[in-house]
């Protein structure tokens, strides 16, 4: 099986690529290596996968020095011409699209980056999948599509029409665009609503590394909404396990492409007009953690106390996230289960040995 994973210089894509090559897949990783956060971290992740920074050239497929079935290409999803050439040459069986402009707060200041990567880029991925016989497209959505919904836990059948950031709006748009391609072209698609992912090689714009940096350097942690927030923190290995199980358990991919009306019985498919080729899942820990408890657990993992500075709620942020994973369990017989304590201990071990761990 040949797979394209986009966003492999990024946090989740890096971990997924590592897992897929171990599982024996023939993998091409793609990333624009944008500078939304420290590019050095992206090159470090690539180096860990056997891709040398000094050999990377835009548009050129590079062979990993560690894994014989892993190749990497630096490419923008918006670069339609070169993306089409890649798909035509490689004939991928599966595609996992994780490349996107991430981050809720950044979308307030930089809306156009989201339109380019998440909308223009995503339609290119859909078109390439459609025209090259891709058997299954899995793509990253986000828990942010639930906005400030009052009903918890969040379920895939809840209404998600009220995003509170442009980032969330583009993720919801991805789900709508995917549905259109599932409906029109019978392209099997699976959207994944990830809930606050953390772990080794994580994103420096997210709370685990921001907080770890502040604690290490005895600087104040910015505690938004005066600590009155909770997040369904999900450990990276649980996310990867969920992606791999859904990628391979693609029951909707085996549907008879000529007779879709005969198929499917999940809750989503019973909804009026939902294509049987379209699936959507929450992947979250289903155990929201209060921000102050998160900070205490991080202090324990790092062995040092935090200095706290209280701030009001930030524009675009939501107060709570909480995943209902019934659908995921039904289809994969799996649910994320790593406790925050265990996950943060693993994170802290990596962090203390990483280039991030530099006390000023
Ligand atoms: N980390 C989380 O908690 C979380 C939560 C919900 C959803 N997600 C989604 O999961 C996916 C992966 O997130 P992540 O945390 O690994 O983010 P990340 O920023 O670490 O990785 C994304 C990668 O995509 C690349 N990229 C961005 N725009 C691109 C483009 N136009 N063409 C090619 N490459 C491009 C970036 O260079 C980056 O390396 C994203 O779609 C994100 O929106 C993440």
Q: What local confidence, expressed as pLDDT, does residue 355 receive?
A: 76
Both structure tokens of 45: 């992740």
Confidence of residue 358 (pLDDT cuts 50, 70, 90): low
Number of residues that this document lists for the chain: 360
Report if residue 359 sits inside a domain.
Answer: no
Start-to-end Cα distance in the chain: 47
Confidence of residue 257 (pLDDT cuts 50, 70, 90): very low
Confidence of residue 92 (pLDDT cuts 50, 70, 90): very high
Confidence of residue 258 (pLDDT cuts 50, 70, 90): very low
Q: What is the pLDDT of residues 147-164, one digit of tens each?
A: 999 999 999 999 999 999
What is the rounded distance in angstroms from the CA atom of residue 90 to the CA atom of residue 284?
A: 33
Ligand 1 midpoint to CA 101 (Å): 6
Report if residue 292 sits inside a domain.
Answer: no
Q: Is 12 in the pocket of ligand 1 (CB under 6 A)?
A: yes
Higher pLDDT, 264 or 82: 82
The CATH number of whichever domain residue 240 belongs to comes to 3.40.50.720
Q: If you take atom 2 of ligand 1, which residue's CA is the nearest one?
A: 197
What is the rounded distance in angstroms from the CA atom of residue 328 to the CA atom of residue 156?
A: 10
Residue 357 has pLDDT above 70, yes or no: no
Q: What local confidence, expressed as pLDDT, does residue 253 receive?
A: 61
Ligand 1 midpoint to CA 117 (Å): 10
Catalogue the active-site residues: 167
Residue 120 has pLDDT above 90, yes or no: yes
Ligand 1 midpoint to CA 354 (Å): 21
Preceding amide of 215 cis, omega within 30: no
Ligand 1 midpoint to CA 182 (Å): 23
Return all residues near 270 (Cβ < 8 A) that are at least 6 apart.
none
Q: Is 283 in the pocket of ligand 1 (CB under 6 A)?
A: no
Tell me what the pLDDT averaged over the chain comes to: 93
Q: Which of 41, 74, 98, 242 to mutate to test the pocket of ligand 1 (most atoms within 8 A of CB)?
A: 98
Ligand 1 midpoint to CA 141 (Å): 10
Report the relative pairing of strands 94-97 and 70-74 from DSSP bridges: unpaired
C-beta neighbour count of 131 within 10 angstroms = 12
Ligand 1 midpoint to CA 98 (Å): 5
Q: What is the pLDDT of residues 173-229, one digit of tens each?
A: 999 999 999 999 999 999 999 999 999 999 999 999 999 999 999 999 999 999 999
Q: Is 101 in the pocket of ligand 1 (CB under 6 A)?
A: yes
Helix (H, G, I), strand (E, B) or coil at 74: strand
Report if residue 106 sits inside a domain.
Answer: yes
Range of the domain at 86: 2-195+236-284+323-336
Q: Is 238 in the pocket of ligand 1 (CB under 6 A)?
A: no
Residue whose entry in the numeric block shows the structure tokens 């609503």: 193
Report if residue 314 sits inside a domain.
Answer: no
Report the relative pairing of strands 26-31 and 70-74 from DSSP bridges: parallel
Q: Which of 83, 102, 234 to mutate to test the pocket of ligand 1 (most atoms within 8 A of CB)?
A: 102
Confidence of residue 135 (pLDDT cuts 50, 70, 90): very high
Q: Which of 100, 175, 205 to mutate to test the pocket of ligand 1 (most atoms within 8 A of CB)?
A: 100
Ranges 44-58, 252-266, 298-312: which has the least confidence: 252-266
Q: What is the pLDDT of residues 46-74, one digit of tens each?
A: 999 999 999 999 999 999 999 999 999 99
Q: Is 208 in the pocket of ligand 1 (CB under 6 A)?
A: no
Report if residue 341 sits inside a domain.
Answer: no
Report if residue 138 sits inside a domain.
Answer: yes
Q: What local confidence, expressed as pLDDT, does residue 356 receive?
A: 66
Report if residue 231 sits inside a domain.
Answer: no
Q: What is the mean pLDDT of residues 289-316?
A: 96
What is the rounded distance in angstroms from the CA atom of residue 141 to the CA atom of residue 278?
A: 13
Helix (H, G, I), strand (E, B) or coil at 106: helix
What is the rounded distance in angstroms from the CA atom of residue 70 to the CA atom of residue 14?
A: 12
The torsion of the CA quartet 193, 354, 3, 79, rounded to 10 degrees, works out to: 80
Q: If you take atom 44 of ligand 1, which residue's CA is the nearest one?
A: 194
Half-sphere exposure of 254 (CA within 13 A, CB side): 5
Instruction: Please choose, from the candidates 215, 3, 231, the residue with its C-alpha nearest in 3D space to the C-alpha of residue 98.
Output: 3
What is the rounded distance in angstroms from the CA atom of residue 200 to the CA atom of residue 186?
A: 37
Report if residue 360 sits inside a domain.
Answer: no
The atom number, within ligand 1, closest to the CA of 143 reads 6
Helix (H, G, I), strand (E, B) or coil at 30: strand
Residue 263 has pLDDT above 50, yes or no: no
Number of domains in the chain: 1
As a whole-number percent, the residues of the chain with pLDDT over 70 amount to: 92
Q: Is 193 in the pocket of ligand 1 (CB under 6 A)?
A: no
Give the full edge-to-edge strand order of the sheet including 62-63: 62-63, 70-74, 26-31, 2-6, 94-97, 136-142, 189-194, 278-283
Q: Is 202 in the pocket of ligand 1 (CB under 6 A)?
A: no
- The 3 state secondary structure assigned to 178-246 is HHHHHHHHCCCEEEEEECCEECCCCCCCCHHHHHHHHHHCCCEEEEHHHHCCEECCEEHHHHHHHHHHH
Q: If you take atom 11 of ligand 1, which residue's CA is the nearest one?
A: 98
Instruction: Please choose, from the candidates 25, 21, 116, 130, the residue with its C-alpha nearest in 3D space to the C-alpha of residue 77.
Output: 116
Q: What local confidence, expressed as pLDDT, does residue 192 receive?
A: 98
- CA–CA distances in Å: residue 308 to residues 220, 233, 296: 5, 20, 11
Residue 260 has pLDDT above 50, yes or no: no
Secondary structure E strands in 46-123: 62-63, 70-74, 94-97
Return all residues near 116 (Cβ < 8 A) that are at least 6 apart.
78, 101
């Amino acid at each position: 099986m040949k797979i394209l994973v986009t966003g492999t210089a990024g946090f989740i894509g890096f971990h997924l690529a590592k897992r897929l090559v171990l599982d024996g897949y023939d993998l091409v990783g793609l990333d624009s290596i944008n500078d939304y956060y420290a590019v050095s971290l992206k090159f470090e992740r690539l180096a860990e996968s056997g891709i040398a920074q000094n050999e990377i050239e835009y548009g050129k497929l590079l062979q990993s020095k560690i894994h014989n079935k892993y190749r990497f290409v630096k490419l923008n999803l918006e670069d339609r011409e070169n993306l089409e050439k890649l798909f035509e040459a490689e004939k991928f069986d599966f595609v996992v699209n994780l490349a996107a402009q991430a981050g809720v707060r950044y979308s307030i200041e930089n809306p156009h980056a989201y339109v380019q990567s998440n909308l223009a880029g995503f339609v290119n991925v859909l078109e390439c999948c459609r025209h090259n016989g891709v058997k299954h497209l899995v793509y990253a959505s986000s828990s942010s599509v639930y906005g400030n919904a009052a009903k918890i836990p969040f379920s895939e059948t809840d209404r998600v029409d009220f995003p509170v950031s442009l980032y969330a709006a583009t993720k919801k748009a991805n789900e709508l665009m995917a549905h259109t391609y599932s409906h029109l072209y019978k392209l099997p698609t699976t959207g994944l609503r990830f809930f606050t992912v953390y772990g080794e090689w994580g994103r420096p714009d997210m709370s685990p590394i921001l907080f770890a940096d502040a604690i290490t350097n005895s600087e104040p942690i910015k505690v938004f909404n005066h600590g009155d927030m909770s997040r369904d923190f999900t450990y990276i290995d649980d996310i990867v396990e969920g992606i791999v199980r859904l990628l391979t358990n693609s029951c909707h991919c085996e549907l008879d492409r000529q007779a879709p009306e005969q198929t499917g019985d999940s809750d989503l498919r019973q909804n009026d007009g939902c294509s049987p080729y379209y699936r959507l899942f929450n992947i979250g820990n289903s155990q929201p953690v209060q921000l102050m408890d998160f900070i205490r657990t991080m202090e324990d993992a790092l062995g040092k106390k935090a200095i706290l500075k209280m701030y009001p709620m930030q524009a675009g942020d939501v107060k709570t996230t909480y995943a209902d994973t019934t659908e995921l369990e039904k289809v994969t017989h799996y649910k994320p289960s790593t406790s925050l304590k265990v996950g943060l201990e693993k994170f802290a071990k990596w962090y203390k040995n990483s280039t991030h761990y530099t006390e000023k």
